[in-house]
Structure 1
Amino acid sequence: MQITPSPAAPPVRVPWYRQLYAQVILAIVLGAVLGHFAPAFAESLKPLGDAFIKLVKMIIAPVIFLTIVTGIAGMTHLRTVGRVFAKAMAYFLFFSTLALVVGMIVAHVVQPGAGMNVDPAALDPGAVEDYVQRSHELSLTGFLLDVIPKTLVSPLVGDNILQVLFVAVLFGISLALTGERGRPVLVFLEALTAPVFRLVHILMRAAPIGALGAIAFTIGKYGLAVLVNLAWLVGSFYLTALLFVVVILGAVARACGFSVFKLMRYLRAELLLVLGTSSSESALPSLMDKMEKAGCAKPVVGLVVPTGYSFNLDGTNIYMTLAALFIAQATNTELSLGHQIALLLVAMLSSKGAAGVTGAGFVTLAATLAVVPEVPVAGMALILGVDRFMSECRSLTNFVGNAVATVVVSHWEGALDRTRLDAALNGAAREPALATAVEPR
């Protein structure tokens, strides 16, 4: 049985300063100003961003568990679970690979590292030693084994999204097969969903503070000047990610009957939060909530969004091939077609193994270059200074990619309420102010 939200009330006009996206914009601007003019003080604000991300991660496991379990247990046919998962994985595999190819093509066309003539022997490998060391922990076998938790409840007190997903799917199927005897458990979990999502909205009130702390630290520590030296690489990456979202994801969205621009407008508060914190996980609970309200079926949201956070990293994949070829060009390393194909295949695997790893983009790049020795790993030191600035773009692209995937898979599954989707994307659905209590679903 699926919980159907009550009909949306007419839009309520609220002062701009009480809206989440407006508050986050102001926080980002203030953080950038502090970072530029008072860098020492701005660096000290880092705990604000870290604390907010920890608050959000605290609630991610319960949100995923409750959404998936109640969604699956309410399905009339359990074969639907496998069908949704298969469609989602097919989508993720295709577009993740396409993102890698796009990054590689742009690197050849733009040539961001050409003419730098860097001697690999002159680079400091110690600067990236920590990332290389962590990359050695990534392997396909280790990744698959890590999906299985130590106990049934340990994922709920950890931070591994795939473990939560694994246990939630198994428990949801078990609860559905239990039949009427499991009905009280399902009713309890459905009732528990309301206060958990209310807690999500309460925590989101701290979003502007978290965004201010995170962006102030980034600008204060690294400064805007570091962007000038590698502006061609950073600009190429941002432009490529923008074209991927607008052209490729835009075409997919149009084929499924919705606009990617309207979807981004609907998720503008979450996008700004991701921009400010440089973490797509900071908006995961809110994304799941909003995608349900936009007409995507609850079981589809529960399966696609958490899985996509591990397997549908479009922004990270664009970054990996673009950065790898940038290092090769900067160090005058010649790569044959065979080397580049090997680089692509290794990146396809390593990008999946980095799920849940802190600094996944840089760690995955280290893992990829370690397997393709033609490109010097020490060359990563060239982009270490600007990686933080590219992290925001990676997170934004990953976030939009997962939002589009959720709507597309819902459309394929015939589990998309077009009326609610149109209402949400056209601004007809109510979007309460940040300080206003949100009605539980």
Structure 2
Amino acid sequence: MLKTDSKASLFNDLAISPLDLPPSGYNDVENRERGRDGENRKSGSLFLVLPLPIYNVEGRFFIESQACNGLRLWLENFDFVTLCNPMVCVSEAPNNTLPVKEMLGFENLKLAPLPASWGLAQFVKRLPLAIKQLSSLIAEHQHLCFAIGGLWGDWAAVAGLLANRKERKAAIWTDRVESQIKLQEARNSNGLRFLYRHVIAELLKRLERAVISRSAMGLFHGMDTYQAYSQFSPSPHLVHNVHLGPDSRIRWETLGRKMRQINKPILKIAYCGRVHQEKGVFEWIETLKILLSRGIQIDANWFGEGPELEVARSIVLAAGLEKKVKFKGHLAGRQILLRQIQSADIFMFCHKSAESPRCLIEALLSGTPIVGFGSAYSRDLIKNRGGGLMTPMDPVMLADAIEDLYRNQAKLKRMTHMAALDGYRLIDESVFKHRSDLIKSLQSL
């Protein structure tokens, strides 16, 4: 680890105040092995119900890789964890999943999946069995946390209502305002599809409020989610959901080099996420077109797959921008993706829905300013240091903001430094311990 005076020497030519140097231990990845406080923080059993599927491949269970990391962190905070997910039987494990037993073992972890029931008929048919299983598990565990996120087949919502009926204190956790997203989908539809989706959105809104209001605590990831739900919860808390550890922070020496290289003539822009209308993919392309029309040289890359991937590529190709704007598709390996984000000058986003995307946190940890359509969530992430810039949902105004940074490189350098400091606290161990401590505190309420 660098001494303070050597850290400061990296930034003498950038007029960085000593007050803006990183916290002690900025690059100390050994914190992961030692534990944040050097103490054994495990206590009690946790019953966790999540909406994401668990895949059954001939008796072997696979789960999404970030969820596997989440389980590891829950197990660091609780003596025993029982996980209940909707189960899907498949012949081959999907990409980006890991075998649960091989990764975590079953000594302190139990899987208690329920059948995936995302249709009304399936849900009604399987509900009695689900109620029996969930009731038994609620009674067996000291701590309860249920992550809601749907309508039919949302076993977490069912568990929340059951816990209330049994007078058990449970925490409800969510990272997006699902009913608002469904309502936006309805507004983008016509005819009977509009009517159907509008009804689903209304039913979902009522279910969300019923579960949250009947649960002892609300854990809401991101300010958008917190503002939407906090009024309905008896004990609301703003939390974050991150799956990157201390070793994912940009190293201080690397940050210094990155800031010195900002004076290059080409502005490197990155984004990672699903290629989807709710992510603002077409507004993202439009903003880049405006920047290019103003003579700004760019190298823009979108990493990720999604339903609009080929449409986006065809729009770029038709405009003759394929050498400057690239949709790279899926990029294998988390560290490879983080290096791409870290190498960018700006992380540009055009999100249109009320959710709390983790990619913005990944950008801040990478020392890359987040610049895009502002929301309560994104503004809250940079409220301490100002490691980004928010605009209304208007490609012209977003292009104006980026052009200002392009032509004012001292401002961009300063914002790059602030981005790394804004992201400093947002690592997996810290945020999972925060949530775990809140869940445990329910026992004293």
- TM-score normalised per structure 1: 0.26
User: Bigger relative contact order, structure 1 or 2, given CA contacts below 8 A and separation 6+?
Assistant: 1
Select the structure that is richer in helix: 1
- TM-score normalised per structure 2: 0.26
The higher radius of gyration belongs to 2
